[in-house]
Amino acid sequence: MGGQPMFILNEDSDRTQGKDAQSSNITAGKAVSEAVRTTLGPRGMDKMLVSDSGDVVITNDGATILDEMDIEHPAAQMISEVAETQESEVGDGTTTAAVLSGELLSQAEDLLDDDVHPTTIVEGYYQALSLAHEAIDEVTLDEELDDELLETVARSSMTGKGTGDVSAERLAEVVVDAVRRVDDDDGVSRDNIAVYTQTGSSSSATRLVDGVLIDEEPVHDNMPRNFQDPQIAFVDDDIEVREANIDAEYNVSSVDDLNTAIEAEENELRGYAEHVIDLGVDVLFVDGDVADQVAAILAKNDVAAFEVGDDEGEELAYATGLSRAAGVQELEADDLGSAGSISVEKYGDEYVTFVEDGDAGQSVTVFARGGTEHVTDELERVLGDALDVVTAALDKGGVVPGAGATEIAVADYIRSEAASIEGRKQLAVEAFADAVDVLPRTLAENTGMDPIDALVDLRAEHETEGIAGIISEGQTGVIDDPIELAVLDPAAVKHEAVESAAEAATMIVRIDDVISAS
């Protein structure tokens, strides 16, 4: 039977099918990967990202670059999400994951051109992924994670990143000290470590504060700025005259009525202030506004009050042991926390309040200094990554050799096992191994070495010595033992990188039809 063709899609819809869809998606994914490839390793380059409003970010952090880029292609967004996942799970290795995703797609493209079915590629990649995890486990160091080893991990994560004029050794000590402070039988409470940045000094002034930093000053000029062993309270509401819940008007017919109304309000506010003073509170934090009359009475009685937010309330509770009261009238003596000291310091035109040595002692802050805003912004990212990798090393399975050594071991192990895999799937497994090689090859390239020669030498050294990586030295790099030269990464970073890269690549390879609605 003949007839008119039936249209099931809106005529404005855009549809790409088959090889064209696969090619388009793979090209987009590879382009994103290529954008961050030059940032990999200690000699990687930085990117300058400029927003529509003129804001400038200078970084070589993969997650930050991909987050700041205005990526529209849906397949390219998947690679960006790989970096986000890597960042949220283990805090480092974002560039590694993105670069590996792109290379897995590139290898898959060659296999598709050779008529290997996408499902075969996906099955082969997942089998290779399982082998990769085994290989990482095999090269994980069987050593106790003492401070020295953890500092090595922290330094390795910072190498080549913008830490200003401060040495990685100094920052690594601060990072490990911070993690140790919040490490207990239940593991590392990473959320209890904050990074606070302040411009106006060299990065070498970076230090660890045993407590919380708040970028506020007291609400009244006459309030004290320094306390020893203060009693601390937190109120989750405004301290102002209560407003009626109903719309009502009051007719004031005489001056006496007006004075009575004013006096009632003043008495109410004075009652709030006196309640705080009677409880023995030295420092009051309020998630809301403090009325001027209340502030004036508190100031006369040497009580300091600060208007802060909800996040500060959480941090103060962890640090000082206080309980947050729903309102000033609900505040009781049992709700108070305490600290060793509270001090307000001025940096340029800004004030910072230090709440140190809290009784609960569960919060620490890395106080990072930098000469410019760009330096402190990058320092904040670098310290965040370092804190995450040290946490990952302690909580998620130890450390492995860095400098591309683990990747060479993974690729070698997958190739050796590929021979026993039957059919075309073997091609996909070998392609996965070839894709992993892109990481040491890119490291060599960014270090100034010939990538092909370096890869050949690395494989030879791996065969004879069992472990070999690319170590930056002077204006180029050398092939040496990364363990001896203290270049180590958390095993969790490697596991997460191969996992998330494989998932993104296989998801994109399986797509053979892209339908875009108008």
CATH of residue 487's domain is 1.10.560.10
In this structure, what is the dihedral angle of CA atoms 90, 134, 118, 89, given to the nearest 10 degrees? -10
Domain of 261 in residue numbering reads as: 211-360
pLDDT at res. 160: 61
Catalytic residue check, 114: no
Residue 226 lies in a domain: yes
pLDDT at 82 over 70: yes
217 and 102 together in one domain: no
Instruction: Return all residues near 76 (Cβ < 8 A) that are at least 6 apart.
Output: 28, 29, 31, 32
Q: How many CA atoms lie within 13 A of 483 on its CB side?
A: 14
| 40-70 confidence digits (pLDDT tens) | 766 667 667 777 677 777 766 666 776 666 6
Residue 438 lies in a domain: yes
Q: Which residue has the higher pLDDT, 408 or 92?
A: 408
Catalytic residue among 94, 96, 140, 376: 94
Q: Which residue has the higher pLDDT, 154 or 60?
A: 154
405 and 352 together in one domain: no
pLDDT at res. 153: 81
Catalytic residue among 238, 282, 335, 385: 385
Catalytic residue among 38, 59, 61, 406: 61
**In the listed set 344, 360, 376, which residue is the last one of a domain according to the structure?**
360
Dist. CA 139–CA 125, nearest whole Å: 21
Dist. CA 330–CA 23, nearest whole Å: 64
Residue 228 lies in a domain: yes
pLDDT at res. 6: 44
pLDDT at res. 150: 84
Residue with tokens 């880029």: 69
335 and 414 together in one domain: no
Q: Are 214 and 415 in contact (CB under 8 A)?
A: no
What is the Cα 251 distance to its own chain's centre? Answer: 58
**In the listed set 360, 387, 417, which residue is the last one of a domain according to the structure?**
360
Residue 178 lies in a domain: no
Question: How many structural domains is the chain composed of?
Answer: 2
Residue with tokens 């060793």: 340
Residue 407 lies in a domain: yes
227 and 350 together in one domain: yes
Q: How confident is the model at residue 92 (pLDDT cuts 50, 70, 90)?
A: confident
pLDDT at 86 over 50: yes
pLDDT at res. 246: 46
Backbone angles phi, psi at 345, to 5 degrees: -120, 150
Q: Tell me the mean pLDDT in the region 427-431.
A: 87
Q: Are 212 and 322 in contact (CB under 8 A)?
A: no
313 and 216 together in one domain: yes
255 and 124 together in one domain: no
pLDDT at res. 245: 44
229 and 354 together in one domain: yes
| Listed ranges 251-255, 322-326, 476-480; the one with the highest mean pLDDT | 322-326
Q: Which residue has the higher pLDDT, 348 or 233?
A: 233
For residue 319, the domain's CATH number is 3.50.7.10
What tokens were used for 204? 């070498």
Residue with tokens 């411009």: 199
pLDDT at res. 152: 81
Catalytic residue check, 95: yes
Where do the DSSP E strands lie in 62-137?
Answer: none
Coil, strand or helix: which one is 127?
helix
Residue 266 lies in a domain: yes
Catalytic residue check, 38: no
Residue 368 lies in a domain: no
232 and 348 together in one domain: yes
224 and 107 together in one domain: no
Q: Which of 58, 62, 37, 34 is closest to 48 using CA atoms?
A: 58
Q: How confident is the model at residue 351 (pLDDT cuts 50, 70, 90)?
A: confident
Q: Tell me the mean pLDDT in the region 216-237.
A: 87
Q: Mean pLDDT over all residues of the chain?
A: 77
Give the pTM: 0.69
Length of the chain: 518
| 373-400 confidence digits (pLDDT tens) | 777 777 888 888 888 888 888 777 788 8
| 445-485 confidence digits (pLDDT tens) | 777 777 788 788 878 877 777 777 777 765 666 777 777 77
Catalytic residue check, 137: no
| 483-501 confidence digits (pLDDT tens) | 777 778 888 888 888 888 8
Catalytic residue among 59, 95, 320, 447: 95
pLDDT at 250 over 70: no
pLDDT at 285 over 80: yes
Q: How confident is the model at residue 162 (pLDDT cuts 50, 70, 90)?
A: low
pLDDT at res. 243: 56
Residue 299 lies in a domain: yes
**In the listed set 306, 333, 360, which residue is the last one of a domain according to the structure?**
360
417 and 487 together in one domain: yes
Q: Are 264 and 373 in contact (CB under 8 A)?
A: no
Q: Tell me the mean pLDDT in the region 400-428.
A: 83
| 209-226 confidence digits (pLDDT tens) | 888 888 888 888 888 889
What tokens were used for 199? 């411009």
